[in-house]
Structure 1
Amino acid sequence: MDKNPAMQYKIEIENKRGEKLVGVLHESGSNEIVVVCHGFRCTKEQPIIRSISMALEDAGISVFRFDFTGNGDSQGLFQFGYYREVEDIRTVTQYFGTKNRAILAILGHSKGANVVLIYASKYHDVAAVVNVSGRYHLDRGLDKLLGADFEEQIKKHGYIDIGDGETRGVKRVTKESLMERLNVKMHEVCLSIDKSCRVFTIHGSRDKVVKLDDAKEFDKIIPNHMLHIIKGANHGYTEHQGELASTIVLYMQELLSAATQR
């Protein structure tokens, strides 16, 4: 674990497959940690992920941002589905459990938001989930993610290779991982989240990647839910990262205050 002047530590955590998950711990001195998860074809170094993490660090809340399997610095094969990434979060939460650290919340952006919701539906061990621009209708937007002819390519080859905008590499989407994604029903996921788990959904009003209607669907279904809409924000919160970060900081401070009163 390497320390730098910013009180950030690089940590490598081995998963059950023997692969290393690489992340950065923003150590602010709090026993509680927020686990922050990136989106599709992104990494822990994505501006929105760094912005959120730094804002929480500045507020005195410790953060762990990491790369999912097959992304960024982490080992393993990239997956288009969700379940391997769910297990990556499980590896992380268990690791910090062995260090006697408490998980304050798990937060994900875009695809990462779906992953944290699915995690909460499977493992009932987190008190709060933050869903930043997650997708409710998983069958939508595939042409934008994979290309207009993705169905033909998948049928012909059994996979499709797509460029990685951040690392200029190539990610392979297999037919199996595509079907895994399509077989996930977010309605059932939402109903399986423990009612004591607080879910906070944040969405931009001008998100063209995942429509605002998706956020409203989450608000209809999840019992212990709060929806916050950031007016004018797009999917990456390009001009609204400060507002997004401050909204998240306020929410985490409320969680900390509630935890100390129990």
Structure 2
Amino acid sequence: MAMATQNPVGQKKVIIPNKYGEKLVGILHETESPDIVILCHGFRSTKEDDTMVNLAAALENGGFSAFRFDFAGNGESEGSFQFGNYWRETDDLRSVIQHFSEANRTIRAIIGHSKGGNIVLLYASKYHDISTVVNVSGRYDLTEGIVERLGKDVMQRIKEAGFIDVKNKTGSVNFRVTEESLLERLSTDMHEACLHISKECRVLTVHGTEDQIISSSDAVKFSKIIPNHKLHIIEGCDHGYTHYQGDLVSVVLDFIKGASSAQQGSTS
């Protein structure tokens, strides 16, 4: 069962078990609205990332409840961190969505930043119960970005040692990459997945031109294959939206409000 505790700011900590029995910890920004938006953080990040916190606060101010949570193995959630894990994190998102659906909440949108952007798109490709998806700086080709993070000849080095330990500047291990986890990432085909997103599902992709981690050309590639897609490129913006949090919040909120109005119009 999910548990909730109140903290001084009026936000609730909610704990939701995933399908593997691990407790996922999240913060619910509660409004009187039954409409809720779920927020998904990126690689080696948490629900406390500036982008997650600022989007949740803006949604709350805009009249939507919002839930930002840690994937298993990240932040406060149980489980061990794994490189890859795209479909397993999609399972985590499924558990969160089912929890709020069973509580008679309407999931108005799912939003993901960076790797979280991939997770919300994968979710939309597999399940067709969410009508609004926001991909913030997600990666189109998951075979890219590996050399930058893990170095050259990565597969050969993994086969020799059985794994690679990625260390920080002080020499302690940040995380371990196994052959299985690397293959899981390499076999996750975003192009193929996006072809399965329903044309009823509205998708917004936001990306910055100065993103040094994932090129904004990835956003353009998403726009070419997702059927019901809006593309918004922010000039001068980096991967973390360092000086552009306000721009991001404005674009995302406008899109969700517009999508929400359209949904309510079609059901009235």
TM range (shorter): over 0.9
Which of 211, 227, 243 is residue 231 of structure 2 equivalent to?
A: 227
Per the alignment, residue 126 of structure 1 pairs with: 130
Give the Å deviation of 1:214: 0.5
1:122/1:192 contact within 8 Å kept: yes
Per the alignment, residue 194 of structure 1 pairs with: 198
The one-letter code of the counterpart of 2:257 is Q
2:54 maps to 1:51: yes
For residues 76 and 165 of structure 2, what CA distance do their matches in structure 1 show?
20
Q: Which moved more, 1:243-252 or 1:144-153?
A: 144-153
Give the Å deviation of 1:244: 0.5
For residues 66 and 222 of structure 2, what CA distance do their matches in structure 1 show?
25
**CA RMSD, 1 decimal:** 1.6
2:177 maps to 1:155: no
SS of aligned partner of 1:192 = coil
For residues 80 and 195 of structure 1, what CA distance do their matches in structure 2 show?
31
1:41/1:164 contact within 8 Å kept: no
The one-letter code of the counterpart of 1:60 is G
Per the alignment, residue 180 of structure 1 pairs with: 184
Q: Please list the CA deviations of residues 122-145 of structure 1 after superposition, one character each: whole Å capped at 9, or x if unmatched.
A: 111111110000111111111222
Which of 244, 251, 254 is residue 247 of structure 1 equivalent to?
A: 251
SS of aligned partner of 2:71 = coil
For residues 169 and 55 of structure 1, what CA distance do their matches in structure 2 show?
36
1:164/1:171 contact within 8 Å kept: no
Equivalent pairs: percent with the same residue?
Answer: 53
For residues 38 and 173 of structure 2, what CA distance do their matches in structure 1 show?
26
Q: Please list the CA deviations of residues 61-107 of structure 1 after superposition, one character each: whole Å capped at 9, or x if unmatched.
A: 11100000100111112222201100000000000011000111111
Per the alignment, residue 27 of structure 2 pairs with: 24
The one-letter code of the counterpart of 2:204 is F
2:164/2:178 contact within 8 Å kept: yes
Per the alignment, residue 97 of structure 1 pairs with: 101
Which of 12, 15, 31 is residue 9 of structure 1 equivalent to?
A: 12
Aligned length: 260
Give the Å deviation of 1:15: 1.4
Per the alignment, residue 61 of structure 1 pairs with: 64
Structure 2 unaligned residues grouped into runs of 5+: none
For residues 70 and 167 of structure 2, what CA distance do their matches in structure 1 show?
18
For residues 167 and 121 of structure 2, what CA distance do their matches in structure 1 show?
27
- Calculate the TM-score normalised by the size of structure 1: 0.94
The one-letter code of the counterpart of 1:248 is V
The one-letter code of the counterpart of 2:70 is D
For residues 13 and 206 of structure 1, what CA distance do their matches in structure 2 show?
36
Structure 1 unaligned residues grouped into runs of 5+: none
Per the alignment, residue 80 of structure 1 pairs with: 83
For residues 145 and 28 of structure 2, what CA distance do their matches in structure 1 show?
33
For residues 76 and 170 of structure 1, what CA distance do their matches in structure 2 show?
15
- Calculate the TM-score normalised by the size of structure 2: 0.92
Give the Å deviation of 1:148: 4.2
Note closer, same or farther for the CA distance 1:64–1:163 as it changes in structure 2 (3 Å cut): farther
Per the alignment, residue 237 of structure 1 pairs with: 241
Q: Please list the CA deviations of residues 170-211 of structure 1 after superposition, one character each: whole Å capped at 9, or x if unmatched.
A: 222221111011111111111011111111000001111111
2:72/2:80 contact within 8 Å kept: yes
2:132/2:256 contact within 8 Å kept: no
